[in-house]
C-alpha cells in the first residue's frame, strides 16, 4: 500500500510503475541505473525527477520525487508516512531524470 507501509524506494517504484516505468527496488540501485544522473542543484530540477539523499560519506539511503515549486513527495518514515517536504530538507547527493525531461 502506498499509504500504509511503503518505504521511500517502494513508494517511487509504485508511482513510476503506474505510469509504465520500471525501476530497481532500492534507492541505491535506482540512483545507479534508473535514468540520467545529474548534479544535485535546484537549477537542475524538473517535476518527476528523483532526488537521492544519503550519509555524509555519500552512501545513498533515501529517495524523494520532485513535484515542483521546490518541493518533493516521499515516504518519510513509518510514523509520518507519505509527506511533502522542501527538496533540500536533507542534503541531496544526486538527481535522476527517469522520464527523459532533458531529452
Q: Which residues are catalytic?
A: 8, 62, 74
Unique residue bearing C-alpha cell 513508494: 11
Least Cα distance to 48 among 23, 73, 75, 80 occurs for 73
Please state, in angstroms and rounded to a whole number, the distance separating the CA atoms of residues 53 and 76.
12
Amino acid at each position: 500500500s502506498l499509504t500504509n507501509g511503503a518505504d521511500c524506494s517502494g513508494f517511487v517504484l509504485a508511482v513510476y510503475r503506474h505510469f509504465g516505468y520500471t525501476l530497481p527496488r532500492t534507492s541505491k540501485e535506482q540512483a545507479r541505473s534508473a535514468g540520467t544522473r545529474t548534479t544535485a542543484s535546484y537549477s537542475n530540477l524538473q517535476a518527476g525527477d528523483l532526488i537521492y539523499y544519503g550519509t555524509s560519506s555519500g552512501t545513498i539511503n533515501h529517495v524523494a520525487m520532485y513535484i515542483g515549486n521546490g518541493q518533493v513527495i516521499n515516504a518519510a518514515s513509518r510514523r509520518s508516512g507519505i509527506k511533502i517536504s522542501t527538496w533540500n530538507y536533507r542534503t541531496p547527493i544526486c538527481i535522476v531524470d527517469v522520464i527523459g525531461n532533458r531529452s
